[in-house]
Each structure stands twice: as C-alpha cells, then as structure tokens.
C-alpha cells in the first residue's frame, strides 16, 4: 500500500508518484559522470591515506551522499540505515523525546512546531524558535540526525536546551523526556460552536475527526459552526489531509500533484457527504501550518467552504518519495518528486496561503511579521523550489489585527476572532472590530494591509484535464516504500 507523507519544512510522501529510475538519464554525458565518480574515489583514497588521524570511510561516504541530496533542495535527504530505522520507529506514534518537529537551515536548528501537550509545548516553545545549544554544547552546524540523538533519550531523563527567539534574550529550558503519544484530533464545545484541533495528520486522523464531530453533535445537536485549528501543524499523511478536507466538502477536487513529466499528474477528489451539514467553518492557520495543513486550508478556501483566520502558512508545496536502498539495508533516499496544487491550480510552494482575516496571536508576533515575513517560511530556504507560477511570498507588512495590552493574556486571541467570524455567519463584512485590538506599526510602515487587485493578482497555472485511462491497464510502477515519518523535519 502506498502511503503519502507531507510535512512542513521537509514534506515526505511515500510512494507519491511513480519514479522510473532507469528512465531518468543524467544530462551529464555518461563518460563525464564516470570520470567524476572516479574523482570521488580518488579523493576518498587521499583522505584515507593522508588525513591527520584515521577516518571512518562509511561515515565519509554517508556524509557525501547526504551532501549530494541536500544540494538538490532542502527536503531531499539521504537516510543512513540507523536514520531509516528511526523513521520507521516513529510511525508507531509513540516514542520518548521532548516533542519537537525540527529542521536545519543555514546551519541553524529551527523549530517547525512543538507538539501539543509535550514537554516542549508545555514549556512555551514556539514555531520559529532556534535551538542554539543542547546541554551547553553549541548546536550550530549539527545535522537533524545529530540533534535528534541529543534530544531523544530514556523517559524521565532531562536535557537542557537553549532557545533563541526574535527580539528576546536566549533562554535555557530544562525538558524532561517522556513518551510522546500522538493524539491527532481533539475537540470541545465553545458556546454554540465546535472547536476541532488537529495536531498532526496520521493514519488515524480521518477516523478520529469523524468520531470527534459525532461526539460533539451528540453533546450539542444544534451546533452553529466549526473552528478547525491547524496552527503549528507541520503536516503528515497526504491521505489524512484528503480525509479531513473531504469531511467538509460535498464534491470537487481537493488537491493535485504534478511531477517531472507531463503525464505525472495525480488528482484527489471529495466524495459526497459533508459531516458538518454545510455549517460555517473557520480554519485557524499560522506560519507553523505546513504542507498537509496547507492542503486542507487551500482546498476549503478555494471551494469557498471556510474562512481562514490567522497568519500566512509556511509555504511547503513539494512532495517527497522515500525510496529504500537495498531493501533498507543501505538506508533510503527521500527525494522531491512533485509539487502539489490547490483546486484552483495554485502552487503554494514558497508562497503559502494567506488568511482571509489576518490576525496575530500577540503583539510580539505581529512585530515579527512587520519586520520580515521570511523569518520563518519555505521562502527562507536558499535552495527551495520556486512556485512554478511566477508568484512570490508577500514581504514584511503589518498584520491587520493583534491583541492590545488590556486583552486577557490567558485567552487565545486568534480563536476569539475565529468565533467572532462564525457569529457573523462567515461574512467578514459583518464582522465588528474586536475590543482591545491594536494595529502594530513600525516607523515608516502603514497599518493598512495591501490587497492584490484583480489586475495585479498572480494567475494560477491551470492544470490540464486528466488524461483518459484504460481501466484494464496496470497502474504505473512506483518505488517500494516502507511506512515512516520524515527525516527532516523530525519529531523529538
């Protein structure tokens, strides 16, 4: 069975598209390729013989393979056998760690998202924070695998992590490792409305969402609308993202993906049946919402099924296929094989999905966006793929809303505004200003949020019609895959 994984920072899709390895001829002439391989062998031999201390050839070769993959884009990786085994282990949904999804960019270890109710989450770690040291040792320049080894450990043991956050002093946080059990969906009633939180997309998400909606309906049969919270959700299974989107849609395309060749197009459509009965829906997003989360947000927005509230998403719109090497004995490759597109044909790669109502969770968060929207997004990667539609992520600007000094800090401002949107029936024109709201400005900036006019708005690249297929024809071959979670980012 093919299993598709997507996640922010470095999405993973197992068996996402067929990869004809023998058909991907290198553009470099074969003789030149052989010469460069010989050069690699010569360099290895010199290092082995001349380096000041004995070397481990296996580690050198694995490092060379990792470097080759990262030269492609930030999300293509080589997994050594130990790393591949760890990837498979994490699919059980239970491991001992501190509950962080991380990535590495420019030598810095960045937090994509803290997991709900994890040691890191309870300690106040936020998306976009940087790990500068672990147990007093500098973390700069470490690989994701090396950081993983330092953060993971036996339950009950502690690790001291130094975090950096924009505009604040470094802080040391002592995190006690515990068994991390991933609970994908939680829900509760918020007055007349239902609140649904999805922390990750795994194989149980679709079922858990259906069970949660059913339970809340039983508790309050006259629910008037739903808030779907995807903030700091770094992604997960593509199939789970499709199931979640399908729960709110009656029909239509949810997402499509296109690979290197024109015939490498896959489409996923909704089945009849909206579990919410067409009631208003608000989706909460922020820059920690990535990949699978963006698929859901994009599908519901394009079908005008939901209003998006929060901040622009991460902008992770590429798909990776994990290909075991030697049946997994030699590790595996996670290689970018496709981009995915929202129903309107828009690629969000490096762009993200903008909310209908831009709301920062705090004044400090609003100031971060005011300084640079690139501080935490796919666009920050120097080697990231482009969007393929000629558009760019919006630069630094002032968010429309942020809570003022008098706002109750124990409350969730973005959630309160989402509930306000539901009370207005999803009609932003009817939305009244929130009390204790401020517009954050810096010198030389205007608090007005610029809007694309119809003339200057980027035109999404249209997706060609799906080709007619012969039902009796065998499906295209895909690489053998083994279920797993991503190498980068990884949960710790």
Name the 3-class secondary structure at 38: helix
Residue 264, Cα to own-chain centre: how many angstroms?
23
Spatial separation of the C-alpha atoms in residues 103 and 123, rounded to whole Å? 19
Pairing of strands 193-198, 171-176: unpaired
Closest CA to 83 of 271, 334, 299, 269: 334
Closest CA to 148 of 89, 203, 204, 199: 89
Neighbours of 238 (CB within 10 A): 30
Question: Which active-site residues does the annotation give?
Answer: 291, 302, 316
DSSP-assigned letters across all residues of 187-224: EEEETTEEEEEE--B-TTHHHHHHHHHHHHHHH-TT--
Contacting residues for 205 by C-beta, under 8 A, at least 6 apart: 184, 185, 198, 236, 237, 240, 243, 244
DSSP-assigned letters across all residues of 378-412: GGG-TT----SSS-----S---SBEE-TTS-TTS-
Long-range contacts, 145-152 (Cβ 8 Å, 24+): 145/80, 145/83, 145/487, 145/490, 147/102, 147/104, 147/109, 147/492, 148/86, 148/102, 148/490, 148/492, 151/97, 151/98, 151/100, 151/492, 152/95, 152/96, 152/97, 152/177, 152/492
């Amino acid at each position: 069975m093919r299993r598709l994984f997507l996640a922010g920072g470095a999405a993973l899709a197992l068996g996402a598209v067929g990869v004809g390895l023998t058909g991907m001829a290198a553009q470099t002439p074969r003789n030149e390729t052989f010469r460069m391989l010989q050069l690699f062998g010569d360099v290895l031999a010199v290092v082995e013989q001349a380096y000041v201390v004995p070397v481990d050839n296996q580690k050198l070769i694995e490092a060379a393979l990792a470097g080759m993959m990262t030269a492609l884009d930030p999300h293509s990786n080589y997994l050594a056998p130990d790393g591949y085994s760890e990837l498979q282990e994490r699919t059980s949904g239970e491991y001992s760690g501190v509950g962080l999804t991380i990535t590495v960019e420019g030598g810095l270890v960045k937090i994509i998202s803290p997991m709900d109710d994890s040691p890191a989450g309870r300690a106040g770690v936020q998306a976009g924070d940087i790990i500068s040291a672990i147990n007093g040792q500098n973390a700069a320049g470490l690989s994701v695998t090396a950081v993983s080894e330092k953060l993971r450990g036996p339950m009950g043991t502690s690790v001291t992590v130094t975090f950096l956050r924009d505009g604040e002093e470094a802080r040391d946080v002592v995190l006690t490792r515990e068994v991390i059990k991933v609970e994908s969906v939680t829900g509760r009633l918020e007055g007349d409305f239902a609140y649904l939180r999805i922390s990750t997309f795994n194989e149980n998400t679709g079922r858990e969402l259906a069970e949660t909606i059913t339970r809340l309906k039983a508790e309050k049969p006259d629910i008037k609308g739903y808030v779907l919270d995807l903030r700091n959700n770094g992604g997960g299974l593509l199939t789970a993202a499709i199931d979640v989107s399908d729960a709110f849609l009656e029909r239509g395309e949810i997402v499509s993906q296109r690979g290197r060749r024109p015939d490498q197009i896959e489409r996923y459509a909704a089945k009849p049946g909206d579990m919410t009965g067409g009631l208003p829906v608000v989706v909460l997003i922020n820059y920690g919402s990535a990949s699978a989360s963006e698929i859901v947000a994009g599908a519901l927005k394009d079908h005008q099924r939901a209003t998006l509230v929060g901040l622009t998403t991460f902008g992770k719109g590429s798909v990776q296929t994990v290909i075991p090497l030697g049946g997994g004995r030699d590790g595996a490759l996670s290689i970018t094989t496709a981009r995915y597109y929202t129903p309107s044909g828009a690629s969000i790669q490096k762009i993200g999905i903008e909310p209908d109502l831009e709301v920062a969770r705090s004044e400090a968060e609003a100031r971060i966006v005011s300084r640079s929207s690139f501080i935490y997004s796919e666009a920050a990667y120097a080697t990231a793929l482009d969007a393929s539609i000629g558009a760019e992520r919006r630069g630094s600007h002032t968010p429309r809303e942020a809570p003022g000094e008098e706002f109750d800090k124990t409350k969730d401002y973005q959630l309160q505004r989402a509930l306000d949107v539901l009370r207005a029936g999803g009609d932003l024109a009817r939305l009244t200003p929130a009390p204790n709201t401020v517009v954050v400005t810096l010198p030389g900036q205007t608090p007005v949020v610029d809007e694309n006019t119809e003339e200057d708005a980027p035109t999404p690249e249209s997706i060609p019609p799906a080709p007619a297929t012969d039902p009796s024809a065998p499906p295209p071959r895909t690489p053998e895959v083994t279920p797993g979670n991503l190498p980068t980012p990884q949960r710790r």
